[in-house]
Structure 1
Amino acid sequence: VFVFLTSMDEFTGTFFVGIPFVTTLPMTLYSASGSNIQFASVIAILLLIPSILFMILIQKFLKAEHLGGIGG
Structure 2
Amino acid sequence: MKLEEFGVPNYSHLKDNEIVVATEVFMKRLGITSGSTNTMDLYNLLKVYLKNIDKRIEINKVLNNSL
Larger radius of gyration between Structure 1 and Structure 2: 1
> Going by fraction, where is strand more abundant, 1 or 2?
2
